[in-house]
Amino acid sequence: MPSAAPSRPGARIVLVDDDDSFRESLGLNLEDEGFSVVSFSGGTAALEHFEAGGAADVILLDWRMPGMDGPEVLRRLRRIGTTTPVIFLTVLSDDVYEEAALDGGAVDFVDKSRRLSILVKRLNLICDGVRAAPEADPRRMVDEALRMGELELRFDTNRATWRGDGIDLTLTEFKIVALLAMRASEDVGYREIYDLVHGKDFVAGYGAEGYRANVRTFIKRIRKKFRDVDGEFDHILNYAGFGYRWAAGD
């Protein structure tokens, strides 16, 4: 049955999975949803595709594959300069795998047993994010940039700098920092941050508030990236039980 939310026409997907039947079935279903799909049975072929100039809006990457597993493929993609958002597909449902995927630079982690409509929704959200940066308060924008103390966010390139040093944020991480910074000194809830990443009212994780672990992982990684260039960085504060805030000031 087609998804209730039609996909963005022409969105390009690279699918990497060693299971021929699963890869063929998912590829056909995604094409029925309006995506353009190129598929590979292993990481080596996918890497060669991108090294030869291939492009995609999202990469769907199997976690467990013989020879080169999904996390290793992702590391090599980043090493060759491919910044395309990656969603891991897996039958591994433990939180430790989801955290490892996000720590490795993936933007999402989807169980293969989830309905096609769930995957399509996530793909559409990510493709929309690739094409549009978050809206910023025009009163604080100068030449498509937000400057706040030592922080500068460039919305034309989705790049962040701190004290003049570039911060290697993924698109998702950039959007989270932008949300917090544009509401400096305000408390932003876990749910609002999660909705920014996955779409309003999306349900994921274990239990009624399972999404909190997902948000904590993103914040942990963002803090680390800022501290890599400034060991005293402490501008993302935790409001216990609610969420986070960006501390205004220097």
Give me the domains of the chain, ranges plus CATH numbers: 12-131 (3.40.50.2300), 138-246 (1.10.10.10)
Structure tokens at 224: 């680390």
By CB atoms closer than 10 A (0-12, 13-18, 19+), residue 103 is: middle
Task: Quickly list H helices, the chain.
Answer: 20-32, 43-51, 70-79, 95-103, 116-131, 171-182, 190-198, 211-229
Question: How much is the pLDDT for 120?
Answer: 87
Question: How much is the pLDDT for 109?
Answer: 72
By CB atoms closer than 10 A (0-12, 13-18, 19+), residue 55 is: exposed
CA proximity to 109, closest of 198, 20, 46, 24: 198
Is the pTM above the cut of 0.75? no
Query: How confident is the model over 120-148, as pLDDT tens digits?
Result: 888 887 777 654 444 444 334 444 678 88
Cα separation of 131 and 166, whole Å?
A: 21
Question: How much is the pLDDT for 136?
Answer: 41
Termini Cα distance of the chain: 53
Question: How much is the pLDDT for 13?
Answer: 93
Query: How confident is the model over 217-227, as pLDDT tens digits?
Result: 889 999 999 99
Give pLDDT < 50 ranges for the chain.
1-8, 131-143, 201-202, 205-208
Question: How much is the pLDDT for 134?
Answer: 43
Question: How much is the pLDDT for 100?
Answer: 60
